[in-house]
Structure 1
Amino acid sequence: MVPSICLIWTIALFCFNSSVIAQIDEWSYRERISRPRVYAGSSPYQGADFTDQSISSALRSQRDLAMNTSINRIEFPAINLASSFFGNNYTDAKVQDIGSVLNMGYRRLVLDLYWDSTRGNWQLCPEAIPSADLQQHLAERPDIVLPIASVNDSATEQPLSSYKKQSTNQSSMSNMPSAQSSLLPSIRKGFVANRFEPVQLDVTLGSQTCTPWITFRHFMDYFNLYLNGVDPLRNRANTDLFFLILNLNNVNVTSSTGSQPLNTDPQWTNNLSANQSLSLRQTISSSIGQSLLKTPRVYTPQNLTIDRSNLSASFNTTGLPYFSTTKNTTSNTLTTENGWPPWFYLIEKQVQLLVGFGDNYLPSDSNYDVEDDANYIFDQKALSGGSMMNVLNVSSMAATGWTNCSSPGNNIYMVPSGNETTELDEVPAGGRTMSWSWAYMTDQGSPFNYYSGYNASSCGYSLYMTSTYSSSEYPEAPNDISTLADPILSTIWSWDVGQPPYVAADSSNGSSLMCASVQLSNGRWVACDCAQLFRVACQNSNDPNVWLLTNGYYSYDRAAAACPQQYQFDVPRNAQQNRMLFLTMKDAGKHTASTARVQNQADDQIWIDLNNGGGQDCWVVGKNTTCWWTNANSQTFTGLIQTSVVGGVIILIFVSLFIWVKCTRMWRLRNAGIRKAIVQKFIKEREYVTIPA
């Protein structure tokens, strides 16, 4: 009895602990990825620790302030992985470092994929991987089965031998049922990165060093590990939206022509065979799992279409005036053609990723059809991917002297995405226009330094890093990847260097309460004593880019009542709003200097509606409020609770089975005893003594 109970508890605890360990392993992924020790580049932050509290607080407060801003008007730093990260190194060790890039602050990754039409695989290595003839291998192994997923992703199995070899000018899916008839190839369920490793790990092909078995699926597996670690439900303080832009190319077969087949493990070849002809949609959806609330973590074009068709049922008018709306008289609903949801709307839905196409260099006769992914992956124009990210160059902008953020040079002029006011009065005749929606500025030909990056970011442009930031330029950097952290410092458009301070005292007694003000000298924020008297920044209720300053001086507590009608005491929610406030302050400063009023120190700073009343590291708008992520502690272990329920059910099943077996045995023994007693009684009754004759 006792050994059986011990066995049951051992099995139950194993099931429970294995699930918990899996959860904790995902959570600790962010802590295990490589990161720089200090910021080593030439900037005012040089030598600061990578975990410096003022830097993380500044970046987090920028994220929080933009929570109700349309995502196309928020800055998301981007990096070209091919030029700034991979270089000539497409090995497994390099791919595993993708979490480090995300952890440093990059939110949009531009990835070059290479289509191997022979195998039907998307790979990271630009060169074709020579190997034994795959078709011959399949002919020798007809028992290999390929999972086939229908449009509702239910899986069946079908032998690979049922597929006929495709010609190069024919679709690889032409002999399969169409998407409309519901059958498309899918990755094996349960496949994880590093499960199948070849005997030969890294090889040199042309100028590239590649791990032969690394595919797009492996990249997405590592990407998913990071997303799990910053899930909106379990890690609100560090969660964010991420974007993946895919540039599509054919593999380069020139440098690998005539190369000897690689000595690969048969297990890997079998797996590669079973995963051929995968669509990008299937690869992404099978790698990026559901959220803890069992909802999709990828926001798709189909989702956007539904949200735009009825704003009342989606994000309503949150984000105006960055998009236009139309009233549908037939359905009596509010719609939009160019609106994007606000950041917090997606985070509440547990969304973490948007995927878009960049440049498509596949030949016209390619056997891969991107139209199959149209409902899942945004086109190039929607997210301004690919070459659209290279139009605005920091060198051209610097040549203008940064005098007008809406005139970035090369006869290009930035126009509003909605009805908001900008620095641009009108577009000159013959000028080219670009929208502020998804506005990126690249460093092609001229790597960002801290100041050029900051100037671009403070204008409202998202930085797009394409240059190589070598560790030779950063003597304190331990490796090349650690240098990628420094450009992120340029994206802090709000707080000044060293701000906001981290106050160790308990804010509940009021001794550490501090409020934010904008400096006239540079437009950046500093923390001040809330009792000081400054003028107040008032934002127009209909146009967030229109500001005015009060004539009188007020403490922070009285600032909310100081603004006139149609204006409210507020704080810039994105870089462009802060830029427009700064211009208003400079104009007011000129007016003050030209009048008889003597300018004093109080004119050098302006109150904005931001304070740390929510906690030591929590900067909030308004009084008696708190950061939306501070109540995450009560939900931190939601995953563990869910896992505990699963573990409890498993325990209940095993205990029930144990009790049933024991009770059945006891009932059987009891019945056997009763039958034995009956037999013995019967035998005894039939016993009699015989007398010899």
Structure 2
Amino acid sequence: MSGNKLYDPDQAAVDTRWIQPWSENLRAQRDVGLRVPINFQTVPAVSLRQACFSNKQYEHHAFQKCFSNLLGVGFRRFEIDVYWDPLQTGWSLCPVQQPTNGDTVSVASSPTVTISTETTSARLQESTAVPPGQLGFDRRQVTSETASAPAEASSTASSPSAINPTASPSVAARPTLITFPTTDGPPLTQIGSYNCTSLTTLELLTALLGDFLEDTATTTGAAITLLTFNLHAASSLTDPDGPAPLLSQDQLPESGAFLSDIVKGNLTGETYTPSHLRDQRANLNESWYQVNWNNRPAVGYYDVTTNVDGQLFTQNGWPSEAFMEFQKLYRVVTSFGTIDPQMQYYNIGPDIDFIFPPGTITNVAETSIDFAGRLSSGCLFASSESTVTSKTNSSWAISIPESLDINANPDLMAPIPSITNLTSCGLSPFLNQSLANTTADKNPLPYADFVHSSLWSFAPGEPLNATSKNLGTTANRCVIMTISPYPGRWRVTDCVDRHRVACQDPSQPYNWQISSSDSNYEGAASACRTPYQFSIPHTALENAHLLAALQSHRQTAPNDDAIYIDLNQLSTPDCWVIGLNGTCPYLSRMDINPTRVVVVPTIAAVIIFVLAALTFFVKCAANRREDKRGRKRRLVGGWEYEGVPS
């Protein structure tokens, strides 16, 4: 990739997300859930430590490719381990302190290495390789990185992963560091069992994410990204593989270097903050309800009360994705995760107006999964419950699956059972291991398989193309839920076909009935009896409840293996919409050109135009001024960042 672009995924990663049918599948699933509060959505989550750094290689080019690939295949939630380095006075992704010119440790120089970031086995539609052995599984340790897998020579001899660290933990008081000069950027330094460059920092991560948000700032590509930061102290140079030291107040960040300061540097305008949530909850009439009726938040997902002034407010609600993305342009939510004891004197107070406190967006559910991938405990689906209760409360719920054995060239049309079942139970599956014995920069395909397995709406290979000029006005333009071969998944059908109808009580998200009579799609709404309405599942858990209703219905009507759900392309051939007269979230009725890119939202373009004009005149008056945000994206740690050649 040329220039200063940081977001640079492999084509193999992009093809698993942005080509048909995957792009339409993911977009349709996002669209049907736009009115549901973001805390009830299930999204694929991943630990960067496991997906990018499992071999203890912390090199900035490799990380750039790894994070780009994870974003490219569709991960939407990231657990990020950040380390405060008092020597560099900065937040690093490397678990050990980086040397400075004034350090007293010995530094040896080695030959120049050329960093290799080429994908080793990322090819679509190739024959399946021999599966690797069962991968080990360790939960992240709070105070040490010693549980990580040892470095392995898994690349070419000139790549950082070919360096074989020999230092034993906690044996040398003054270890010798080995620097490997690189052809692009700062040297790679071997420190104990770690190989790091000084550019592998939180600043690089936020700058890369900022580029990704710009690249996907369209109404067809936008989605919410969640970041959870685990705070650690970097291990000492004198004992790189030992426990990190307890940092004193004088060694910790000062104003300008707080965690929120770094995140703000590249993500200020895109981040939804605790202050935003607090203000919006206090007066719903002036926030979440100040939208068109069809964009109002779905009923039944949070409690609403009226205060003494007659204003509606909530204490437990979150905004919908439609409100965040299309109304306010927010696409990032950040939160603290764990904070190590070595960082106990770090005051998170200045960060709390920008970053949510620990535990706010994470609710870890303990689950048990059998050999077939079914949940034997921990599922949030309860067939007897029709509303959100303590049993069915999937707010911010995540679960870590047991060790996954996925080969290097997986069948992307074959979902991983345990991941699919976690999602159906209302849990966001959290990947806390490397897949296929490799990191995502080397091969994104196993990670794409994980993301695809978290889909709960259209079946693999769906939706079929409904925009062909050879099709009639109704052919393959409506959607049904089926029992087989993928129970509860959706596929397209001809709208004149007759099926029973999915009917939902609009005040109870999990209360579904199957109509007593069949109908074509046009007459489906009249098949539901009051107060039930023809509807569509908006979340994975709603989908599970509808499937349960269909399975119960089949006990008396065994031939009914499919039902209509309220989704069609009748009047909008380039967009799946709800209702006969449904409105596409990103295409006007007079503009249905599928090649047109619509920026989120249109008014943003007007604002950018005005700002650009103002900037032009300001620069004419004072040419020395630079755009702070642009400078941050191109200068990381003082280096002119050119990106990885594609």
Same fold (TM over 0.5): yes
Select 1:81's aligned residue among 48, 69, 75.
48
One-letter code of the match for 1:95?
A: F
Instruction: Note the C-alpha offset of 1:512.
Output: 4.7
**2:281 aligned with 1:308:** yes
CA 318–507 in structure 1, closer or farther in 2 if over 3 Å, else same: farther
**Structure 1 counterpart of 2:496:** 531
Equivalent residues of 1:113, 1:124 under 8 A apart: yes
CA shift in 2, pair 1:301/1:447, >3 Å:
farther
Q: Secondary structure at the match of 1:556?
A: coil
Partner of 1:439: 397
- Per the alignment, residue 465 of structure 1 pairs with 431
Structure 2 Cα separation of the partners of residues 582 and 76 of structure 1: 20
Residue pair 1:308, 1:336 contacting (<8 A) in 2 also: yes
1:615-667 deviation digits (Å, cap 9, x = unpaired): 444111112334211247465887777666667678899999xxxxxxxxxxx
Equivalent of residue 94 in structure 2, options 115, 122, 125: 125
Change (3 A) 1:397 1:319: farther
Of the three residues 283, 303, 315, the one matched with 1:324 is: 303
Q: Given that residues 58 and 93 in structure 2 are in contact (C-alpha distance below 8 angstroms), is that contact kept between their aligned partners in structure 1?
A: yes
Deviation, 1:380, is 1.9
SS at match of 2:508: coil
Q: Give 2:369's match in structure 1, choosing from 382, 397, 402.
A: 397
Q: Partners in 2 of 1:70 and 1:644 — Cα distance? A: 32
Q: How does 1:398-417 map to 2 (within 5 A)?
A: 398=370, 402=374, 409=377, 414=380
CA displacement 1:14-52 (0-9 Å, x = unmatched): xxxxxxxxxx989x876x52242698xxxxxxxxx6644
Equivalent in 350, 361, 379 of residue 372 of structure 1: 350
**Distance in 1 (alpha carbons) for counterparts of 2:266 and 2:561:** 52
CA contact (8 A) 1:536 1:559 kept: yes
Tell me, yes or no, if the aligned pair for 2:467 and 2:574 is still in contact at 8 Å. no
Matched, 1:622 2:579: yes
Partners of 2:455 and 2:344 lie apart in 1 by 46
Mapped contact 1:120–1:277 kept (Cα < 8 A): no
- Which one has the bigger helix percentage? 1
Displacement of 1:509 in angstroms is 6.6
3-state secondary structure, aligned to 1:630: coil
Post-superposition offset of 1:289: 4.7
State whether residues 36 and 50 of structure 1, in contact with CA within 8 Å, keep that contact through their aligned partners in structure 2: no
Could you say which structure has the greater relative contact order, defined with CA pairs below 8 angstroms and 6 or more residues apart?
2
1:480 aligns with 2:446: no
Q: Residue 240 of structure 1: CA displacement?
A: 0.5
* Secondary structure at the counterpart of residue 297 of structure 2: coil
In structure 2, C-alpha distance between the alignment counterparts of 1:198 and 1:652, rounded to whole Å? 36
Given the superposition, is the C-alpha separation of residues 634 and 300 from structure 1 closer, same or farther in structure 2, using an over 3 Å criterion? closer
1:133 CA displacement: 2.8
Measure how far apart 1:478 and its partner are: 9.4
Query: 2:556 pairs with 562, 585, 591, which one?
Result: 591
Instruction: Tell me which amino acid in the other structure corresponds to 2:522.
Output: D
Contact 2:423–2:429 at 8 Å: present in 1 too? yes
Q: What does residue 202 of structure 2 align with?
A: 216
**What is the distance in 2 between the residues matched to 1:524 and 1:376?**
38
Alignment check: 8 A CA contact 1:110 1:246 kept: yes
Provide the residue aligned with 2:58 in structure 1: 90
**Alignment: residue pair count:** 506
Q: Report the Cα distance in structure 2 between the residues aligned to 1:650 and 1:225, rounded to whole angstroms.
A: 21
User: For 1:601-680, what aligned pairs fall within 5 Å after superposition?
Assistant: 603-631=560-588, 633=597, 635=599
Closer, same or farther in 2 for the Cα pair 1:525/1:210, shift >3 Å?
same
Query: In 2, Cα distance between the equivalents of 1:654 and 1:455?
Result: 56
Residue type of the partner of 1:202?
L
Q: Is the 8 A contact 2:88 2:98 kept in 1?
A: no
Partner AA of 1:528 in structure 2: T
Equivalence for 1:36:
12
Listed as ranges, the gaps of 5+ residues in structure 1 are 1-23, 40-48, 136-196, 259-272, 291-296, 428-432, 594-598, 657-693
* Identical amino acids, percent of aligned pairs: 25
Checking the alignment, whether the CA contact within 8 Å between 1:415 and 1:435 is kept in structure 2 is no
Judged with a 3 Å threshold, the aligned counterparts in structure 2 of structure 1 residues 361 and 513 are, in CA distance, closer, same or farther, namely same
Partner of 2:544: 579
Q: Deviations over 1:487-535 (max 9, x none)?
A: 0111121111211101342499726551001113311111111001111
Q: Secondary structure of the residue that 1:489 maps to in structure 2? A: helix
Contact 1:493 1:524 in 2 (8 A): yes
Given that 2:51 and 2:433 are in contact with CA atoms closer than 8 Å, whether structure 1 keeps it comes out as yes
Map 1:108-257 to 2 at 5 A.
108-133=77-102, 200-231=186-217, 235-253=218-236
Classify the secondary structure of the residue corresponding to 1:115: strand
1:414-433 correspondence to structure 2 within 5 Å: 414=380, 420-421=386-387
**Is the CA contact (8 Å cut-off) linking 2:81 and 2:232 kept in structure 1?**
yes
In structure 2, what is the Cα distance between the partners aligned to 1:333 and 1:653?
43
Partner amino acid, structure 1, of 2:10: S
TM-score scaled to structure 1, two decimals? Answer: 0.66
**Partner residue in 2 for 1:338:** 316
**Compared CA separation, residues 644 and 25, structure 1 to 2 (3 A):** farther
1:200 CA displacement:
4.2
Paired residue type of 2:480: S
Q: Partner letter of residue 439 of structure 1?
A: A
3-state SS, counterpart of residue 100 of structure 1: helix
Distance in 2 (CA, whole Å) between partners of 1:54 and 1:616 is 15
In structure 2, distance between residues paired with 1:498 and 1:198: 42
Distance 1:640 1:436 in 2: 36
Q: Residues 351, 507 of structure 1: CA spacing in aligned structure 2 closer, same or farther, 3 A cutoff?
A: farther
Larger Rg: 1
- The CA distance in 1 between the partners of 2:438 and 2:198, in whole Å, is 29
Distance 1:374 1:547, change over 3 A: same
| Matching residue of 1:282 | 261
In structure 1, the residue matched to 2:113 is none
Residue 560 of structure 1: CA displacement?
1.1
- Aligned partner letter, 1:455: N
Which range moves more in the overlay, 488-497 or 500-509? 500-509
Task: Check the 8 A contact 2:288/2:319 in 1, yes or no.
Answer: yes
Distance in 2 between residues matched to 1:73 and 1:578, nearest whole Å: 13
Q: Distance in 1 between matches of 2:349 and 2:268?
A: 23
Query: What is the identity, as a one-letter code, of the residue corresponding to 2:236?
Result: V
1:516 partner letter: V
SS, match of residue 556 in structure 2: helix
Whole-Å separation in 1 of the counterparts to 2:618 and 2:357: 49
Q: Is the 8 A contact 1:516 1:526 kept in 2?
A: yes
Q: CA deviation at 1:443?
A: 2.2
Partner of 2:478: 515
Code of the aligned partner of 2:306:
K
Contact 2:13–2:69 (8 Å) recurs in 1: no
Query: How far, CA to CA, are the matches of 2:328 and 2:470 in structure 1?
Result: 32
Q: Unaligned stretches of 5+ in structure 2?
A: 105-182, 242-251, 290-295, 407-414, 589-595, 622-646
**3-state DSSP class of the match of 2:527?**
coil
> How do residues 265-276 of structure 1 correspond to structure 2 at under 5 angstroms?
none
Q: Residues 440-490 of structure 1: CA distance to partner in whole angstroms, max 9, x if unpaired?
A: 1212545687111111112221111111112679xxx99333431110111
- Alignment partners' CA distance in 2, 1:649 and 1:456: 50
Secondary structure of 2:263's match? helix
In the alignment, residue 550 of structure 1 is paired with which amino acid? S
Residue 361, structure 1, aligned to residue 329, structure 2:
no
Shift of 1:208: 1.8
CA contact (8 A) 2:80 2:229 kept: yes
Letter in 2 for 1:299: Y
Q: 1:284–1:651: structure 2 CA closer, same or farther, 3 Å change rule?
A: closer
Conserved? CA contact 2:13–2:448, under 8 Å? no
The alpha carbon displacement at 1:400 in A equals: 10
Amino acid aligned to 1:585: L
Structure 2: how far apart are the matches of 1:248 and 1:364?
A: 7
| Structure 2 CA distance for aligned equivalents of residues 491 and 618 of structure 1 | 22
Question: Would the aligned equivalents of 2:481 and 2:488 in 1 still touch at CA under 8 Å?
Answer: yes
Q: Distance in 2 between matches of 1:374 and 1:399?
A: 42
Deviation at 1:134, TM superposition (A): 8.1
